[in-house]
Amino acid sequence: MELDATRVSVVIPLYNHERFIAQTLDSVFRQTLPAHEIIVVDDGSRDGSARMVEALFQGASQTGPRLVFWSQPNRGAHATINAGIHRATGDLVAILNSDDLYHPDRLAAMAAAFRERPETDALATGLDFIDGDGRPMANPWHDEAMAFHRRNGDLALSLINANLVMTTSNLMVRRRLFDRVGHFSPLRYAHDLDFFLRLLAEGADFHILDRPLLSYRLHTTNTISEGPQRVKPEHAAAVAFFLRRLWDRPVRGGAAERGSVDWERAARLLDVLDRHALTGPVQLCLTYFHNHPTDTLERSPFHGDATFQSVLADAVARAEAQAQSHERDRAEAARLRAEAADLAGRLDGVLASTSWRMTAPLRCARGAVRRTVRRFASHRALRQAAKLVFWTLTLQLPARLREHRQVRALYASGLFDPAFYWRHNPEAAAGGLDPALHYLRHGAAAGRDPGPDFSTAAYLAQHPEAAGSGVNPLLHAIAAGWPPHGMTEERPRQR
């Protein structure tokens, strides 16, 4: 039978959208191609939505579209849409959620596309985004999804990557196609994605008119705002059922068609699944659907199988956690690469500097002194003399002499016990430094104690001025006149 593209039934599922439904209906009434009929199904709204629709329909023109409205107990969006489709009489069915808006020429443009390509079974369009008050919004996520589709041209792959069609509001379909592919599945979040993929798996001619003709409203009560942990299990199920229908489609005689898989396309699909941490959950769903075969996801026992749903939710959570861990690893690797590049740049700057070139002779002398020290390492006097020369050439002599005096002061105090220090800091002994020198350079900063009768931490707590002075705590105590009578914490002896 020839399609009459002017007979468009608009099905509006309504639920608790008293704030938006008047604008939604007005966008249908203002179409340049009038709808054949407007069917509003109230899904048990608890606000004044139903009363508002009744008032709007009573005041509507008698010469306009046929108006159909009823209320039912709450059964979910999929059941509400299906109920409206069953009552539709137009050749084409368009869906509009009760918070979205049609652009004025949407029905006309889509009907024209059906006429121009008679083989078309279903059609979606571009869209823009508005907030709860109708103000335009940017949506970089959708822009990226559309760019991905324009690059690859594979609508199924693009939908698995991201549901760029976005919503059931963005669909016009031949009414008789529902007899062939079924209706919407009882999924809360992915009934639209499942239906879009089912159209493609069944060979329907479904494409996107790349022109914004729908305003999709983003607000706090959108189901998509409920978080990926709830959406992803249904997304995985919809994708898995699509792949099963695509790769294991039954043919005449009940046999399965084998050897017809496009493996290059399959590789691209797996790449997308990996990128979205869906490979494991989709494989799990494929196994389930293989063991519980049905023609459509709409009829699958999946929806009532609480045990499998729990297993699937756990698989999604694990995959998501692993993906986040990998993302952190990639970010850290990128940070380290950037840091290495920065250090390399700074090193290049140092090597190219005038000061580096001018000190080249000094570095050569330093190397020569080191080699001399190693050569005469067995001769103590020569070694000491070589060290003095080396420290002098490298401008370290004043600091070394100061350390030498400080070490002598530590030992002279009687409070530094080398045996105690090594016993309580065995890892320090491996370094080969004199224990008092190790305490000067490292131990005090780490809160180590020089002996059983002096607590570094307790002294610093009682004398905060010592912490800020940069002076070794024990040397500070000695200079202040040991014993530091201001200490209130008694230090237990450790043997």
The torsion of the CA quartet 368, 369, 375, 378, rounded to 10 degrees, works out to: 180
Integer Cα distance of 108 and 124 in angstroms: 13
Question: CA quadruple 449, 452, 458, 459: dihedral positive or negative?
Answer: negative
Instruction: Give the chain's domains with CATH numbers.
Output: 8-224 (3.90.550.10), 227-250+261-342 (no CATH), 409-495 (no CATH)
* Model confidence at 101: pLDDT above 90: yes
Which H or E element spans position 9?
A: strand 8-14
* Model confidence at 361: pLDDT above 70: yes
Residue entry with tokens 């494409």:
207
Cβ proximity of 413 and 451 under 8 Å:
no
CA dist 69 to 18, 54, 80, 93, 269, Å?
Answer: 15, 8, 12, 16, 42
pLDDT at 490: 43
| Contacts of 145 by beta carbon, 8 Å cutoff, 6+ apart | 158, 161, 162, 163, 164
At residue 306's C-alpha, the angle toward residues 302 and 307, to 5°, is 100
214 backbone φψ class: left, alpha, beta (φ>0; ψ -120 to 50): beta
57 backbone φψ class: left, alpha, beta (φ>0; ψ -120 to 50): alpha
Residue 448, token pair as written in the block: 């180590």
Integer Cα distance of 58 and 35 in angstroms: 17
- pLDDT band for position 116 (50/70/90)? very high
Residue 459, token pair as written in the block: 């002294």
* Model confidence at 485: pLDDT above 70: no
pLDDT at 156: 92
End-to-end CA distance of the chain: 102
Residue 27, token pair as written in the block: 């966008």
- pLDDT band for position 493 (50/70/90)? very low
Average pLDDT of the chain to the nearest whole number = 85
Average pLDDT over residues 431-456: 86
Integer Cα distance of 220 and 72 in angstroms: 24
Q: Which pLDDT tens digit goes with each residue over 145-160?
A: 999 999 998 999 999 9
Residue 134, token pair as written in the block: 């109708």
Residue type, 319: A
Average pLDDT over residues 95-103: 96
Integer Cα distance of 9 and 85 in angstroms: 8
Residue 301, token pair as written in the block: 């026992």
Q: Which pLDDT tens digit goes with each residue over 366-379?
A: 666 566 656 655 55
* Model confidence at 14: pLDDT above 90: yes
51-55, 115-119, 457-461: which has the minimum mean pLDDT?
A: 457-461
Integer Cα distance of 478 and 466 in angstroms: 12
Cis peptide leading into 483, omega within 30 of 0?
A: yes
Integer Cα distance of 295 and 182 in angstroms: 9
pLDDT at 495: 38
Please provide residue 171's backbone torsions phi and psi, each rounded to the nearest 5 degrees: -145, 135
Residue type, 39: I
Residue type, 434: D
* DSSP string covering 354-374: HHHHHTHHHHHHHHHHHHHHH
State the pTM of this model: 0.66
Nearest to 234 by CA among 186, 271, 273, 280: 186
CA dist 431 to 17, 93, 425, 426, 444, Å?
Answer: 74, 82, 11, 10, 16
Share of the chain above pLDDT 90, in %: 46
Which H or E element spans position 232?
A: helix 228-247
More confident call, 352 vs 40: 40
* DSSP string covering 270-281: HHHHHHTT-HHH
Residue 374, token pair as written in the block: 């190693």
Cβ proximity of 49 and 14 under 8 Å:
yes
Burial grade of 191 (CB within 10 A; 0-12, 13-18, 19 or more): buried
260-264, 335-339, 402-406: which has the minimum mean pLDDT?
A: 260-264
